[in-house]
Amino acid sequence: MTDKPDYLEHRKRIRERFLNSSGKGLSDYELIELLLTYAIPRKDVKPIAKKLSKKFGGLRGILDCSREELEKIEGIGSASYTFILLIKEILIKYFEENMIKRDVLSSPSYVVDFAKVKLSGIKDEVFICIFVNTKNEVMEYEIIQEGTIDQVVLHPRKVLERALYKKASGIILIHNHPSGHAEPSEEDKALTSEMVKASELINLRILDHLIIGSNSYYSFRENSLL
């Protein structure tokens, strides 16, 4: 009989370690390795996992990088990229479901967690609007505007029209800073002020404006700017 490849026993051991520790017993690269075993069934994926971890700095970097960046790593193909993309989309859906129907004033962390995952790794500025009802519960969200790497032009009228269409009582504005710094610019402050003034005309509440950086966020409400 043909001997089984050594990596098959290694895969078995790493899966057992993962299960026996309730998912907490593996390092980042080992988690990446375990993930790849489901995308690359007949190959030793440990070297690939180590290359990915070294190149992109861990799980977050891998989940955020583009297909082109990933497939530059030898051994990573369409199947692996699809699986990694699926993992990130599941994460986004998880945090989205946590946020929906929550009172965002009493549980603001749910919105922050969702925003961090949703906007992580995006190279251009994106504006998201979260719509809430009279009880401050999240109804749904929508990407309102997409821009460039350092600018996005948001027209208050467009936001108000969408809020009226959704029959929302209030909104939370969210956008990312691809530079990684979450501190608001003067343009961010001016836009927030303009949005507040415009929303008062239709009795729409601006609950917050969140800016998402690479490892941090900025809340206008938490900083008493709303």
Residue 43 belongs to a domain: yes
User: Are 116 and 209 members of one domain?
Assistant: yes
| All residues at 6 or more sequence positions from 6 whose CB lies less than 8 Å from its CB, including other chains | 44
Q: Which domain holds residue 214?
A: 102-219
Q: Which of 61, 92, 123 is the last residue of a domain?
A: 92
Q: Which of 27, 59, 92 is the last residue of a domain?
A: 92
User: Are 79 and 107 members of one domain?
Assistant: no
159 in Cβ contact with 174 (< 8 Å): no
Residue 12 belongs to a domain: yes
User: Are 71 and 140 members of one domain?
Assistant: no
Residue 80 belongs to a domain: yes
Length, in residues, of the chain: 226
Number of structural domains found in the chain: 2
User: Are 69 and 161 members of one domain?
Assistant: no
User: Are 152 and 196 members of one domain?
Assistant: yes
Residue 211 belongs to a domain: yes
Residue 168 belongs to a domain: yes
Q: Which of 36, 59, 92 is the last residue of a domain?
A: 92
Residue 1 belongs to a domain: no
Question: pLDDT tens per residue, the chain (226 residues)?
Answer: 455 666 777 888 888 888 888 877 788 888 888 888 888 888 888 889 999 988 998 888 899 888 899 988 888 888 889 998 999 999 999 999 999 988 988 888 999 999 999 998 888 889 999 999 999 999 999 998 776 655 567 788 889 999 999 999 999 999 999 888 899 999 999 999 999 999 999 999 999 999 999 888 999 999 999 8
User: Are 65 and 158 members of one domain?
Assistant: no
Residue 97 belongs to a domain: no
CATH number at residue 195: 3.40.140.10
Pairing type for strands 138-146 and 217-219 reads unpaired
| All residues at 6 or more sequence positions from 83 whose CB lies less than 8 Å from its CB, including other chains | 35, 36, 38, 39
H/E element, 211: strand 205-212
Residue 124 belongs to a domain: yes
